[in-house]
Amino acid sequence: MNIQSLHQELLSEIIKHSGQPTKHTFLDSYLGNSHPRYPISIPILRTVAKDWLKLQTLSTVDFFQLISALIMAPSSTEKMVAGILLDYAKANLKEIDPNQIDTWLNHLEGWAEIDTLCYGDFKVDDVLENWVAWKKVLVKLNKDKNINKRRASLVLLCKPLTRSSDKRIASLAFQFIESLKHEKEVLLTKAISWTLRSMVKLHRSDLKKYIQKNKSSLPAIAVRETLKKIETGKKNG
């Protein structure tokens, strides 16, 4: 199958519902990257991706090749639609090699691109079934010099923490937070807060003990938002 043709076909659908790539100083700062993007809202982009995917018959190999092509494309919109497609094709994800995520992350920058790829796509049962391989990649990401990969190591755990009480996931999350809690960049402090808040429902006891023990060394925003989530069910409430 011609992956380039599929890529161009999907891109044409995106352009049809938006316009030409643009750069905006405010959005560059907010989204954390300077990649060109198409002026299309995320809800519309999701609809375009979902409708387009319904018309395709792709093997798992072809699907992952398309995802790679999109992630390596110049625009942030193409990179983000790759993560959206993963969300709509979860059956293919059972066969993913976690190392592929590390490779994809070489082409992503800023919270919007990282989170679209890393949050919510991968089923917790599939992760736990292949835990040794996943843990190896996650630990590698957590120690990487690339701050985007360090954020990804946390974001990849957020959804599993809300779906499983398996202590292996929580233990790894605490380990990662310990290794990153002294960094001051918002890209990481907010990810630490998100990870801690993800533990409120299924890991509450261990979370309370951890917060109490490490309150003074954790980012203040993470402590504040997590305690508020424990108390009210919301990070700001």
Q: What is the mean pLDDT of residues 139-165?
A: 97
User: Which of the residue ranges 10-19, 64-73, 74-83 would you say has the lowest mean pLDDT?
Assistant: 10-19
At residue 169, does pLDDT exceed 70?
Answer: yes
Percent of the chain residues past pLDDT 70, beyond the cut: 93
Q: Which residue has the higher pLDDT, 130 or 26?
A: 130
At residue 23, does pLDDT exceed 60?
Answer: no
The predicted pLDDT at position 26 comes to: 44
At residue 146, does pLDDT exceed 70?
Answer: yes
Q: What is the mean pLDDT of residues 1-29?
A: 78
Residue 3 CA to residue 69 CA, distance in Å, equals: 8
For domain 98-237, which architecture applies? Alpha Horseshoe (1.25)
Structural domain boundaries in the chain: 1-95, 98-237
Q: What is the pLDDT of residues 41-53, one digit of tens each?
A: 899 999 999 999 9
Q: Residue 20 gets which letter from DSSP?
A: S
Q: Please provide the DSSP assignment of 164-225 as one string.
A: ---HHHHHHHHHHHHHHTT---HHHHHHHHHHHHTTTTTSHHHHHHHHHHHTTTS-HHHHHH
